[in-house]
Amino acid sequence: MVVDRSDKYRKMVQRGKYQRLYSYLRSLQAQEWRTSFGEIEAVVGFQLPPSARLHRPWWGNQKRSNGHSHALAWSVAGWETAEVDMDGETLLFRRRHPKAEARPSLDEVWPVHPTAVWPEGLSLRREDLYEERV
């Protein structure tokens, strides 16, 4: 049985404490959102815990899509935190983009040669195909 973890995390965030932050970030069209802790509190509808103002790791991004509910909210929404200023109580949310896998085109793997034209340097002579082994 295959479990779709991303769907489970999304459903968990939609039911969680930081659901409003998740929804807000999903609705943004911008690639970045520079904000303050106070603005985030206005979005979520409650005060952030004291640890958000005291400990920089509270704003850390998760490597996987699991962990703390607040980090899960922005991660599942497709965002990450950056430039966290604990003294100024500001931070930057930046949209995460999936890394595009560079795949070579068929023409790069198997070059196209015009019909009836023998590629230069290609030979089917026995001497060219087999090296003399001494």
Q: What is the pLDDT of residues 11-68, one digit of tens each?
A: 877 788 999 999 999 999 999 999 999 999 999 999 999 999 999 999 998 876 567 8
Rounded CA-CA distance 120/64 in Å is: 51
| Residues 6+ away with beta carbon under 8 Å from 35 | 90, 91, 92, 93
Position 132 in a domain: no
User: What token pair was written down for 29?
Assistant: 């069209």
Q: Which residue range(s) make up the domain with 69?
A: 5-95
Question: How confident is the model at residue 110, as a pLDDT?
Answer: 67
Q: How many domains does the chain have?
A: 1
> Does residue 45 lie in a domain region?
yes
Q: Is residue 124 part of a domain?
A: no
32, β-bridge pairs:
94
Write down the pLDDT at residue 109.
Answer: 66
Classify residue 17: in a domain, yes or no.
yes
Q: What token pair was written down for 52?
A: 């958000």
